[in-house]
Chains A and B, each alone.
Chain A
Amino acid sequence: MAQAAEAKKRVRTKEKTVDRDTLMKAYRSMLLIRRFEEKAGQLYGMGLIGGFCHLYIGQEAVVVGMQLALSLGDEVITSYRDHGHMLATGMEARGVMAELTGRSGGYSHGKGGSMHMFSKEKNFFGGHGIVGAQVSLGTGLAFSNMYRGNDRVAITYFGEGASNQGQVFESFNLAALMKLPAVYVIENNKYGMGTSVERASASHDLSKNGAPWGIPGAQVDGMDVLAVKEAAEQAVAACRAGKGPYLLEVKTYRYRGHSMSDPAKYRTREEVQMMRTQHDCIENARHRLEELDVEEKAFKAIDDEVKGIIQDAADYAQSTPEPELSELYTDVMLEG
């Protein structure tokens, strides 16, 4: 009880007027991701999903808050912890779940898996399994916007672990030199696999990691979806105005292990419980909506709708067939 009261108090300290519809939308998106990931964890446990599977539970506010600030056509690229990003960009839960089960109805027809999905239609560029590689690629997406002279912005997500890769700094330099419309989002969930950020980075404020190149940065509370949205709007607006790249360090937390096979012994159960009970992004949003007099039945309706989508996705992911054996040889090369 005391914890809940404290959480409410935290919410109240925000004085800004909140657009109820926007927050409802964010609440629904976050819940969809959470339920999706819980179901994915369950299907993994049943042996229906294999290999690596990195869940996004706890971090939902980051991608949902960012997405609220984007416009149609903006590009998104991220690492291997990517299910939430795909759902946030509007990709179908069915297609994502069916890719996790390695079935023909998946976004990559079962040939990519959890870490490798793409949607040209939604401008989602993956899904990358090599830590940090997506940062240079995302810089290239921003470059293509500048080359074409459009006003699109490319959003590149990476973890605080990836932030130490050399090509991240190479990318910062290139983006600043060329004034590219690139928003870099460091999702700082405090642990790069089992190594805490304090043990991995001599920089204590990752939002300043672009400072040598004059890249403006901000630290954001990643458990507060509206705080993320606000910071994202500022970053995206600066990019669209042609001011060059922008860096956000979003402080977040993953409740689950790094991947399914991570026993997470590098942190205490109390630490995880404390984040879950006091800082959960979905609970935060719900409290705030309750204060805006959203009634229980409205939450129930969202719950039911989300449950339906996830159940449908799980059913589809198990009923759509495995890819044809001939698929082994397709998509290696394009004709030409």
Chain B
Amino acid sequence: MATQILMPALSPTMTEGKLAKWLKGVGDDVRAGDVIAEIETDKATMEVEAVDEGKLARILVEEGTEGVAVNTPIAVLSVNGEDVSAEPAAPAPKAAVQPPKAAAEPADPKAIAEQGARGQRKDALEAAPAPEKAPSPEKDWGPTKPTTVREALRDAMQLEMRRDGDVFLIGEEVAQYQGAYKISQGLLDEFGPKRVIDTPITEHGFTGLAVGAALNGLRPIVEFMTFNFAMQAMDQIINSAAKTLYMSGGQMGCPIVFRGPNGAASRVGAQHSQCYASWYAHVPGLKVVSPWSSADAKGLLRSAIRDPNPVIVLENEILYGQTFECPTDEDFLVPIGKAKIERAGRHVTLVAFSIMVGVALKAADALAELGIEAEVINLRSLRPLDTATIVESVKKTNRLVTVEEGWPFAGIGAEVAMQIIEQAFDWLDAPPVRVHGVDVPLPYAANLEKLALPQPDWVVEAVKKIV
């Protein structure tokens, strides 16, 4: 029996190459793994190794030949020692004649393009209720009590850790110190060091550890002292946590929560003052939420802990000490992917998240005095984004102003504005306007810092431009 030796592809992009040199001649014995020839690709000279054993019966492409296409027969190997010098070589393997790339081409390229567009639309629809449908009203959870955001976050973790033994909290200073920002107060006492775990200062390591534990079925809550330090662990969050479900064909999910303060605190300088909302919201495979009130914090964090996917919870240090009314119902949850209308209005829609919801509400007060009724939407979730609620509001107000603390370029405001342009263009009476942090690293000096972060009067000015 004779086997053809084919011109091999030696790199992901190679289509042809030069057969530079034969290292075996006709009549030579060849063993699997022997180097039989050298081939020059556009990048390098590569050695070709034999895969089968036998005697080199014929050489079909002489050395020095340029532009030999991949899968061209270059030699014939006689496998059982018979004479094949005269007979035509056995047909090349089927796959070589009909490379799979050709088979993979869609019959109709337009069909695949449409499929893609449909899929994307489907994706967007899955991310939020259909825009045509009226957003469902906020559920009334009954009695409330004044609660700080700090307490709300702690309560959420406590309730979920009582509910599920696989939930644990890991991070720097979360146990004995009770949390760098005192979010985990009392948790060590109740759950012990097995479930409330102090780590060394080693973000990359402990994040990877937690992701590994989640892949094996546990449900870690990773506290970053601030999200600025999570940049050390970005690879594990994106490449390991967010992508493994997809790369495993749906076999291996990663139920994990990454939480901590995000954005500017006060006078802590450029490296400790940055909003990561658009960074994480960019990534398929992650959910991203950003609470403003105590109810947001408690309800969203509980939902995040129960979610089978990786969820980023972007908190805010300045909000930790603020008090809001918070439902006391044992089962209180805020669903991920659902925005909340904090204040109704009919002249302009203000879209904000996290601490900027407070700024937008202050601006709405000031606008009311000018006779402008602003509707304030608290996004709560950034991915999936509740575009239905925003579209519904803009259809009523015909104007959109986004408010965020982060930088403008490729930011959340840019995404919200684009969603509205795509889905409610005909209802807009003016171009959307973005209010955002100034496009510079955050300065330390008090006066400069104040100049860099959105204030209520910035929002008022933005609204005045379009109303």
Contact = CB atoms under 8 A, between A and B. Distances in A.
Q: Are A and B interaction partners?
A: yes
A260 interface: yes
B29 to A, nearest CB: 15
B211 interface: yes
A52 to B, nearest CB: 7
Nearest to B310: A333
B392 to A, nearest CB: 24
Interface string A120-155: 100001111110010111111101100100000000
Contacts of A322: 100, 103-104
Contacts of A107: 248-249, 251
Interface stretch (B5-13, B146-154, B355-363, B431-439): B5-13
A112 interface: yes
A79 to B, nearest CB: 13
Given A133-B235, A139-B208, A120 B100 contact: no
Task: Give chain B's interface secondary structure class.
Answer: mixed
Contact of B248 (A101, A126, A130): A126
Contacts, number: 219
Interface stretch (A239-247, A294-302, A324-332): A324-332
A167 interface: yes
Contact of B10 (A45, A109, A255): A45
A247 to B, nearest CB: 16
A192 interface: no
B100 A333 contact: no
Contact of B205 (A108, A170, A330): A170
A328 B119 contact: yes
Interface residues of A, number: 76
A334 interface: yes
Nearest to B285: A332
B131 interface: no
A173 B244 contact: no
A152 to B, nearest CB: 10
Contacts of A128: 240
A119 B207 CA distance: 22
Contact of B12 (A43, A52, A119): A52
B236 A133 contact: yes
Interface residues of B, number: 77
B70 interface: yes
Contact of A108 (B6, B247, B253): B247
Nearest to A335: B308
A336 B212 contact: no
A190 interface: no
A125 B212 contact: yes
Nearest to B35: A269
A174 B205 CA distance: 8
Interface string B45-83: 111010100000000000000000011000000000000
A170 B215 contact: no
A216 interface: no
A173 B205 contact: yes
A18 interface: no
B43 A261 contact: yes
Contacts of A329: 119, 122-123
Contacts of B207: 136
